[in-house]
Structure formats: C-alpha cells, structure tokens
Structure 1
C-alpha cells in the first residue's frame, strides 16, 4: 500500500496514540519499540506472529494477531507498512474517521526528530552496516538510538532509544523512504540498480541517491565505498556539491584504505591506513570481502565523529551479525546450515564467496528463492549466473509480494541460467520440497545456505530436522 508522506512530519510525542499496521515486520516493529520507549502509547496488528513481537509486548505494547477495524478505535495516528493490502480494514477505518495516516518512512522520521541522524543507505549491505556502526559506537562509549532491519547481535533487539543525540538508521531506498530523513551524515555502501518496480529506470534509481545526498546537512558528511562504481560516482557528485566526503576501500585513492585483506573461515581481517599512515588491524567475526567494506565504512563514520580507533575496532570485532545475514541456523552431522537475505545478483555472489570461505574443504549447497516478479524479470539470468558459485543449487519459484504473478516469470528463468551440470541444479515447487532436496544433496562437511528475501528463511530449520531424523 502506498501512503503519501505528509508535508509536515510531527515528532512522535505529538502523534497521540499510535497504532502500527504490520507491527510484526522489522521496520514497523523498530518504530513501535522506540515510540514506546519514548513514552508514546502504541498498539499494533499483524497477520501472523513474528520474533519481534515478544519484546514489544514486554514494553506494554498491545500486539493483535489479525486485522480488525476495532483495533484502531482509540488511535489518533496510524503507521502503515508498505506490505499492507489496499483493503486492510484498519486503514479503511482510519480513513473513514479522518485519522492521521503515515507510511513507514514518516513514522521513522517522527521518532528521529531532534536527533543527529546517521543514515545508512545503499543497494546492498544496509542492515549489516547499520549493525556494525551501532556496535562500534556502543563500544566507543556512545549510546545512540538505532533502528536496524534485523536483530542486532550485541543487544538482541532491532531498535532502541538511546540517551545520545545520535540516531543510527537503516535508510531504505526501495520506496523512496530515505529521501525523508534529512540526516546529519550518511554512509552509502554501493549503488546498483534495483527496485525498478518503484523507480522505473536505472537512471531514476541513481538520481534518487543524488537527491538523498542533497538532503544531508551541509555541515555533515558522507562516507562512500570507493570500490563500488555507483558509490564512487555519488562521492564525486557530493564533493562537487560542496559536501564533506570520506571514501573507503581497497582503491589507492580511498581516504581510508584497506590493505592485506584476508578471509579465513568465519573471520575476516585487514589493515587500515589513512594518508599513508597505518592505523591498525580490523578483525571481524563475519566472513566476506563485502562485510569488510561495510565495517570500514562504519569505522570511517565513527572516526569522523571523533571516536577512538581502538574502541571502534573492538566494537566491530564483537559484531556477530544480524538476523538473516549469513546467520547460522544449526549443524547436524557436520553439515552447517546458514540463512541469508541475499536477493540481488551482487548479494548472492558476495554471500556465496563468504560461504565458500566458511565451507573450507566442504561443498556449498545453495537454495534460492527469487523475490518479486519485476526483479526476477530483470535480473533472473544474472541471479542464475551468480548461483553458479555454489556446488549444488536448488531454485524455488518466485516469492510474489506487492505485485501480481506473471506466468511468464518463474524461478525457471533463474534455474535455467545456472552454469552447472543439469544434475547439480534442481527446480522445485515449494518450501517442503526445497528442504527435502537440500537434505538429500548435503553430506558431512558441506555448508547449506538458503538465500532470498521471502519465506525461504523457514527452510533451514526444516533441513536440520530432516538431517536429524535421517
């Protein structure tokens, strides 16, 4: 559902009683949690229970299962997920009563009012980088508010209202939400066309990031990963507009340069220098070059805020991830099962590179569920090519969200493009079939990984159960 952003976004303490439609999702639950901690009376509804709801209930937030017009009887304001259907009874009732209705982006802007916002944007890596920056700042003695698109390992929560004036926020570009945050500073990890169902063209997508840069405080700063062509172009644009820019990466031109990168098992290490001076080593407990780039971008932000290098590095080193980002689900008989949110060819490629380092001598057995009809239509072949980095591949049908199904766009587009022998690729019809296929293909020493932004996250536990009963 598309809800327009109002011309004026009121601070959360002026919204009255707030009801959150889709409160079980990562984004809306984070807003609800911070509102409750700020003293706002909050309730919400979702069509199913999620891991975010118990912590909200502990704060006194009423969380209904199922949608009903009666749930908004005491509400003054609704905050609505983009996933809400056009006939959602709570939204229809709010419209009938003339209540204030806000999209997720405006709800987040409301809780950030009065803070110095550190916005983390980019096509890939937003959630991990937001978590890394929050972890680093906490270790450096700061107490920022934060809203992350997954559960932060350091706190076990996806959001908190801190005592500091800083607010670390994941800035989502998919629906243009990041254009409403007016940040003090920002990180852009990369810029590569995605969400064309909303933006229409690659050019429009890139222009949106330029608009985002224009929204940054002129006395603030931008951190960009110079190794990414889109982010490098954005850094040049920002400098030309007079904004202070800090670049990071392995490139010799980076302001904060990465040296001696080493990936070994579940760890990643590198050294970092600035203007030719070695600052020290960064050691991470998460695997993959893309995570190193994310971590050094967070490091650059903390340094620019005046935090100590050693303290920031300690926080980065303590970070063990967020939910659905190379998340270990369990191990049975020497077979480890991981889950990842990767749904774009670049993300698939990066996480399979990390999986390869984790697997060691074992094989990588991957299952992928394409997400969105439009994304699969545009990137389906590239998704299949990226999956070729695994040893065995299982492809599911498209997870349909926000769009109508298209019989011409199925997971077969992806499966047919995987550059492996036919016996190494399976195209299956559903989640139980995917779990059975993975369990049948895996053997001791292998690493099984489920990839996708849909409900494939439920497959990993099914695989572990099947392996345990074998």
Structure 2
C-alpha cells in the first residue's frame, strides 16, 4: 500500500533504536512515508533500519533535524535532548510514539494488546495464529518475533495486531476494535503519580472499544478485577484460571518441552465450546494466560479451533523471552527480559515447575534507579524460586538519580527475604570468572533485565 499522503514531510524519530520506535518507523517506511532517525549508539535494531534504507544519525545533534518537518519522540528521551529542544525552537510538531502509532493505525481493524506484563508475547502469539490464516495483518510489536526476524511487518489486509505501551499514557489514543488487558501492576511510576492514575487510564482505554468490538481482560489479576467494577458497559470477555472466567483455563500440564491446557468457552447467548489439549512451546502460567488471550480473540473473530491450536503449537518465540543461548559443562544458559518483580517471579515459577530437579541461578541486572527505589522490597522477595542470585550493578538507562540506599544492604535483603545465596559482580568479566569457577552440572542460568545483561550473557562463551 504505497501512499501519497504526507509526501513532502520528513519524519524524524528521536531514539529510533528502541524496539517500539524501530517497528513503527519500519511500518511507516513501508507505507511510503519519508522516515529518518537518530540514536546514541548502533544496535541490532539500527542495523535492521539501515537494511531498509532508513537514514540514521548516531548521536543526538541539532543538525540532525535540519530537514525534518515532523518529530516522533521515544518515551526514553529526556526533555534536555538537543534535538527535542531544537524542534521546539523551530516550532515543529512533536508527537509521542503512541500518538503517531494511533494516527498510523486509525484506518485499520486493530487488535491492541496492553498491560504491564506479557504484551510482547501475547502480540506475538496472536501474530502466530494469524500467520496460519489467509488474513495478512500488519504487525507492530515490542519485541523481535523469531519467525519474522523483526518486530514489525506491513500486511496487505486491513487488520493490524499491535502492542500499545502504557509507559507514557499515550496508549489510550490507539484506536482498538479488539483489545487485551493482560494485567496492571505498579510500573512506570516516574510517569504516573499513583496506581489510581494508572487504573483510570486503563478504564478509559477499555471504554473506548467500540460496540462492534470487544475487550479481553484477565481476571486472575487483582487490579484488573477492581477495574471491572468501574466499567459500566459490559462490552468485554474475561479469561484466566479463575472459574468465573468466560475463557476458562483448566487441566494444566507444565513440562520442560511444552505446556498444555484445555480452554472452556462460555459466552452469553452462545453455544459452549471446549478446545482440548492446547500445546504451547513455552514455560510458565504467565504464558498459558498470554496464549489464552490470543486464542480468545482469534476464536471471537471466527478463526477455527484447528488453526488456533496449530498457530500456538508452532509458535517460534520472541527474542529475549527465556531464550536458550548456549550450554557449558551441562549447564543451560538463558536470556530473559524480566526486569520487574512480577516478571521475575513468573519466569522463576515456570522454570521451577518444569525443571524441578535443577539448580536455578539468576543473573540479575536491575533496570532504572527509579524502578529499584520504588519496588525495592518487592525485588528482594522475588527470587524465592531461585537457588542463587548473581547481582549486577544497576543499569541506569540515562537516569541521573541517586540510589539513596546502600547496594550491599539491598543484596542482603534479597538473601534474607528470598532465602538465596547471593554473589555480587561488577561486569561481564567478573561474571565469566564466577561461572568458570562455580558452574557445572545440570543447572539453569538465567540472565534477567532490560539493560545490557543480554549482551553480557551472549558474550560469555568467548570469556569462559
């Protein structure tokens, strides 16, 4: 679909190397928009953009936006960014990523996935089911789908499956035909003043779903349950392991190779349906819930049981979601994006259930000082299903905040509250040295965090 719209505009993305900005810029380029962008460093996302002939500037400088007529800014960009300051000086229109995303998908039938955790995997699972149909949706995801080797794909139909990020509040502007709310948790409190503010925005998002669409809400989540009391028009379906769920998960099996469950569907005015033995190549209850959300939407829009089961069973996964990266002396090493206490607990619960007899070592790199300060106690309690924690320095992600507490005392809190052995390392070299000296036999080592920990884990084979 080549378009003539905005032909004279040059759209500049500040922070184009972030996964969400990356996907949006690729889709806009594919639609015929003139797109460019800047970021502080080269990364895999930047390489993908260059292959698609998108002009990239490394480093944020005033001159990068000389020819730009519209600015799209990542939620990670601070107000003192020189390009953002210059754009305001030039009185250029400046849009948040979520606002631009809302404009781009305003003419399509959208399945919008939001929530504090599980968005990327749920979006990817939906894309996996749709890939088995003749519907060819546009996909805009917050992670790289292994099947696409990309986070975005421009489809030929008028369907769009997209992840909407709640970090800066702009997700409410994304128009949805169908929406999924996975859960609501204490996250991004640097933007929201309170949990109440966050919940109000989710209510607004759910209420915006049109009468001919539907919201799908997981009622295993306490905060989601509270929301339902404040939604006057009951234009939603519920899912979960809660027996009151309209898409009810039961007969669960969790094994090393796959998880399996049945899905009982009881909707008002419709015949009851049972989808038996749904298999997913993923671990953990969180992924069973994510798969159920995808199956619920697919079933509601008329995709057959057979295709739903095939799409889920043949799911190829998402980068940085419990991906095995190498084996060393019989120990398996994994990479995971978990960077919030809830995510850490869910991943560890899933691994412990499937690998009952294996020792679990978690290499944790806290992400953002603001998050660590806000959830310090919750973090200290989140490693109970691990045997050992290797604690790395905080990845500050550009924040210029003071920690305000002793990091060694935080380490002691983890040991005490999660009842684990704990070791501190300062960099990937110390981590490699520790692994070389201490790790062997049938163990599971998981690198966790949203910062540079993925690179640390992937460079380990060269260092050990």
TM-score (norm 2): 0.92
Q: CA deviation at 1:54?
A: 2.6
* RMSD of aligned residue pairs (Cα, Å): 2.2
Given candidates 414, 421, 424, the residue that maps to 1:418 is: 414
Given candidates 204, 207, 218, the residue that maps to 1:214 is: 207
Aligned-partner Cα distance in 2 for 1:56–1:28:
11
1:256 equivalenced with 2:247 (yes/no):
yes
CA separation of 1:131/1:429 partners in 2, compared to 1, >3 Å: closer, same or farther? same
Q: CA deviation at 1:360?
A: 4.9
Q: CA deviation at 1:438?
A: 4.1
Partner of 1:172: 165
CA separation of 1:413/1:341 partners in 2, compared to 1, >3 Å: closer, same or farther? farther
Count of residues in Structure 1 that have an aligned counterpart in Structure 2? 455
Give 3-state SS (helix, strand or coil) of 1:447's partner: strand
1:456 equivalenced with 2:453 (yes/no):
yes
| Pairing of 1:12-51 with structure 2 (within 5 A) | 13-14=5-6, 16-51=9-44
Q: CA deviation at 1:124?
A: 0.8
1:234 equivalenced with 2:230 (yes/no):
no
CA separation of 1:413/1:266 partners in 2, compared to 1, >3 Å: closer, same or farther? farther
1:282 equivalenced with 2:278 (yes/no):
yes
Given candidates 298, 302, 326, the residue that maps to 1:302 is: 298
Give 3-state SS (helix, strand or coil) of 2:230's partner: helix
Partner of 1:137: 130
TM-score (norm 1): 0.91
Q: CA deviation at 1:168?
A: 1.2
Deviates more, 1:169-178 or 1:50-59: 50-59
Give 3-state SS (helix, strand or coil) of 2:238's partner: strand
Given candidates 257, 262, 265, the residue that maps to 1:271 is: 262
Given candidates 126, 148, 152, the residue that maps to 1:155 is: 148
> 2:384·2:419 contact (CA, 8 Å) conserved in 1?
no
Aligned-partner Cα distance in 1 for 2:450–2:163:
17
Q: CA deviation at 1:218?
A: 3.0
Q: CA deviation at 1:327?
A: 1.8
Deviates more, 1:143-152 or 1:50-59: 50-59
Aligned-partner Cα distance in 1 for 2:433–2:20:
32
Aligned-partner Cα distance in 2 for 1:244–1:253:
16
Partner of 1:387: 383
Q: CA deviation at 1:65?
A: 1.9
Give 3-state SS (helix, strand or coil) of 1:366's partner: strand
Give 3-state SS (helix, strand or coil) of 2:381's partner: helix
> 2:415·2:422 contact (CA, 8 Å) conserved in 1?
no
> 1:411·1:427 contact (CA, 8 Å) conserved in 2?
no
> 2:254·2:354 contact (CA, 8 Å) conserved in 1?
no
| Pairing of 1:279-358 with structure 2 (within 5 A) | 279-357=275-353
> 1:265·1:358 contact (CA, 8 Å) conserved in 2?
yes
> 2:335·2:446 contact (CA, 8 Å) conserved in 1?
yes
Q: CA deviation at 1:299?
A: 0.5
Q: CA deviation at 1:284?
A: 0.5
